[in-house]
Amino acid sequence: MIRRPFLTLLAAVAFTIMLGPVVILLGVAFTAGSTLTFPPEGLSLRWFGAALAYQPFLDSFRTSVVVALTSTLFALALGIPAAVALHRGSLPGRRVLENLFLSPVIVPELVLGLALFQQIMVGLHSTATAALVLGHTVLLLPYAVRVAGASLALADPRLEEAARGLGAGPVRTFFSVTLPVMRPGILSAAILAFVTSLNNVPLSLLLTGPGVATLPVEMLNYVQSSFDPVVAAVSVLLLAGSVAVALVTERLVGFTKVFGR
């Protein structure tokens, strides 16, 4: 017996809205027909073949992965030291500094994208790839500072004091005590940052150049200009990749711990 019929009904509607369109996508991707119809007109893998033969998708996928990896590394390299200073530095104005590091979240991504396009790409003649890496690093920095910092906030600072007391220098203390303590947080931040970068549309939208665009932006442009199911096939491939990432994440740190922030 269902104890709360009204709440259960609302929850069922919620899950239908969240997951229904994704189920439709699966149907469309495996269709043998050439239009966006559900239920599909027969089954085939032809649109997967078409997706993998479409050069702009392959190029933009490579761009997306390069941008996501580079900006995740940059964000961690900048964010981890900042998190250490914010949590262990007993600095004056700590809250102001922390808010400054989290502030990119407040500004609409589309606005940041426009700003980088005008000031960095047009103003300073940078390449689209460089602007993408810069923009994504800024976008991911708050995740790195907050998520990596969270594990530091939970750790006991006396561990580090003990290491210092036993004669370790500050650098050795950092690498053999602080960094290992932060490991789960760093791993969570890295996964979250990578997925966030890979999926971004509004920031990447205007940061395009000849032959350079990220995969989601290329997909968006394709959907707006043609009405065949190629993008559904690409989506199903990305869906499969996301399931794999989710399973690995579950093994490493816990899926809901990382994406439930």
Partner 1 sequence: MFRRSAMVALLVPGLAVLAFGFLYPVAATLAAPPDGDPATVARETAALLSDPYLLPVIARTIRVAVVTTAACLLLGFPVAYLISRAPARWAGRLLALAIFPLMLNTVVRTYGWLVLLGSNGLISDVSAALGLGRPQLLYTETAINLGLVQLFLPIMILSCYSSLSQQDPRLEEAARGLGASPGRAFRQVVLPLAMPGALVGCTLVFAGAVTAFTTPQLLGGARERILSTLLYSRVNVSLDWPAASAVALVMTVLVLAVSVLSGRLTPKGSAQ
Contact positions with partner 1 (CB under 8 A) in 123-142: 123, 134-135, 137-138, 141
Distance CA 144, CA 52 (A): 33
Size of site (CB under 8 A) for partner 1: 98
How many CA atoms lie less than 13 Å away from 46 in the CB half-sphere? 13
What residue has token string 């199911």? 229
Distance CA 139, CA 194 (A): 11
User: Which residue of 30, 47, 57, 174 would you call a contact of partner 1, by CB under 8 A?
Assistant: 174
User: Which residue of 84, 147, 150, 152 would you call a contact of partner 1, by CB under 8 A?
Assistant: 84
- Interaction of residue 182 with partner 1, rule CB under 8 A: no
Q: Is 91 strand, coil or helix?
A: coil
CB of 55 to partner 1, least distance (A): 19
CB of 53 to partner 1, least distance (A): 20
Q: Which long-range contacts (CB under 8 A, 24 or more apart) does 216-221 make?
A: 216/64, 217/60, 218/56, 218/57, 218/60, 219/57
CB of 205 to partner 1, least distance (A): 7
What residue has token string 């407040």? 106
- Interaction of residue 161 with partner 1, rule CB under 8 A: yes
User: Which residue of 109, 132, 149, 151 would you call a contact of partner 1, by CB under 8 A?
Assistant: 109
Q: Which helix (H) or strand (E) holds 183?
A: helix 179-199
Closer Cβ to partner 1, 190 or 215, answer by number: 215
Q: Is 253 strand, coil or helix?
A: coil
Task: Provide φ and ψ at 173, rounded to 5°.
Answer: -60, -45
User: Which residue of 58, 69, 73, 201 would you call a contact of partner 1, by CB under 8 A?
Assistant: 201
17-76 binders of partner 1 (CB under 8 A): 17-25, 28, 35-38, 74
- Interaction of residue 79 with partner 1, rule CB under 8 A: yes
User: Which residue of 50, 65, 73, 97 would you call a contact of partner 1, by CB under 8 A?
Assistant: 97
CB of 181 to partner 1, least distance (A): 12
Distance CA 160, CA 176 (A): 9
